[in-house]
A and B are shown apart, each in its own frame.
Chain A
Amino acid sequence: MDAIRCTDLKKSYGGFSLHLESFVVPEGSIVGLIGENGAGKSTTIRLLMGLASADGGSIELFGKQVPHANVQQKEDIGFVMEDAWPPALLDPVKTGKVMARIYSNWDSATYDALLESLAIPKAKPFKDFSHGMKMKLVLAIALSHRAKLLILDEPTSSLDPVTRDEILSILMDFTREENHTILFSSHILSDIEKVCDYVTYLHQGKILISGEKDELEDRYAIASCTPGQSSALDSERILGRKDSPYEVKVLMRREDVPAFMHILRFDLETMMILFAQGGNGR
């Protein structure tokens, strides 16, 4: 079963348009949603969580078709969203008491253990927390009501490497349970590479690439040649290209790479940059 399945999902506002023909998050997987700023990652998450209504298309959560997550389904979803925070004046203990009345599956013992292990100050109001600490508390809440699905919008952005690593470890722990699923949006691609099984790349509101992370490496290649050699390239086969005075870097399907090109190490960041530059072969 898929944890999330979006079909022909559409949303337009203020000159931006999102259209996801088919977007799937398989149960038990960690899916990375990547793309430049304004590509539609947060809009997708807002639609899934019911913060905005779709103009068309359908969303299935845990196999049930809904316009967006409803109260019953939100019991099973832990989340981190952009500019969405727990009560600013409440300390984590009081926040826990509020959450215990909100989530029917609230697990106080897990919450307390997470506050301890993440060294979250219990008596300090949320507004006085650092950004990293705020993120840790939001994650502690997301992990304390026996959620099956985590929907995380930029959970590691603007965090220092140590806190990021700590948060990624928590996420890896979460997926030890077979049916636990994570949708993880980020533009920190090293984080996505560390934890995700699948990657979906959004560009200008549409899915450009989607698939298993390892499969992407088998399917696509990043290759380079000199500017002189580049005239021999078939432009129809170039998916993305970046020219510099001494080197031409291209993204191509692996089988299309000519023998004279030098194949470089594949990484999501370079792939994204090259795709964003454009190419005739898309």
Chain B
Amino acid sequence: MSALLLKDWYQLSRQSKLTIIMAAVMIFIGVASSSVFYAAIGALLCVMLPMTSLAYDQMHHWDRYVMGLPVTRKDVVLSKYVLAILGILASTVVLMVFGLIMQIRGSIAFDTILSALWTQLAVGLFFLSVNYPIVIKIGFERGRIWYIIITMPIMAFAGLLGNTIVPDRAALAVSSGSFFVLPILMFLVLLSYRLSVRFMERKEY
């Protein structure tokens, strides 16, 4: 699996410089303006990176080529999930660093940072869980419409949370709910992975 991750790393470092910069800027704006909406966009961009790698694989026929190599289909799926989780963790680290800087400067409440952290984690894991099986099952091209249908409500929800609820209360709600939300999301990721493996093992090229 390390070979597949290395390949994705090389690919993303060439393909997605702009997306990485955009994600960092969004997270920065999110923290600076105490808006979970921007943090969620930053998180989504991070999760979208491996998704674009999946799309690129399909577009340039690596997905067929890898089937001839001595790797299992399970490994192919696992590498994509690991990459996505690494993307989410990377965005979490960036968000934490920005948040800490802001807190040291006294321009942001700790609860707001916590809220942004949980939001981006939750959005990232949910997006991963729902979209990956679809893209693996029907391909990125055909899955694009589902991608939009699923992504838009998430963004709208994040926007609603960030703009209509008083930030401190939102932070409190999200952070206190996280003890329940996180295990649910982890279960969802696991379920999604199992489903993706099943789809991949039945897929014909």
Contact = CB atoms under 8 A, between A and B. Distances in A.
A86 B68 CA distance: 11
A98 B3 CA distance: 5
Given A87-B60, A89-B15, A89-B56, A102 B3 contact: yes
Contact of B67 (A84, A88, A99, A127): A84
A76 B15 CA distance: 32
Nearest to A101: B3
A88 B60 CA distance: 6
Q: On chain A, which size bracket covers the interface?
A: 20 to 34
Interface string A87-123: 1111000100111111110000000000000000000
Given A46-B205, A98-B3, A98-B10, A71 B64 contact: no
Nearest to A45: B68
Given A51-B204, A97-B6, A81 B70 contact: no
B11 A71 contact: no
A1 interface: no
B69 A87 contact: no
Contacts of A98: 3, 6-7, 10
B69 A88 contact: no
Given A51-B205, A89-B14, A84 B65 contact: yes
A74 interface: yes
Contacts of B204: 46, 51-53
Given A51-B204, A51-B205, A127-B60, A81 B68 contact: yes
Nearest to B65: A84
Interface residues of B, number: 24
A84 B70 CA distance: 15
A107 B11 CA distance: 23
A125 B3 contact: no
17 contacts: A46-B204, A51-B67, A51-B68, A71-B71, A71-B72, A74-B68, A81-B65, A83-B61, A84-B61, A84-B67, A87-B7, A87-B60, A87-B62, A88-B62, A89-B15, A90-B14, A98-B6
Interface of A: 46, 49-53, 71-72, 74-75, 77, 79, 81, 83-90, 94, 97-104, 125, 127
Given A74-B69, A85-B62, A89-B14, 17 more contacts: A46-B205, A50-B67, A51-B205, A52-B204, A74-B68, A75-B70, A77-B68, A81-B68, A83-B61, A84-B64, A85-B64, A86-B65, A87-B11, A88-B60, A88-B62, A98-B3, A98-B7
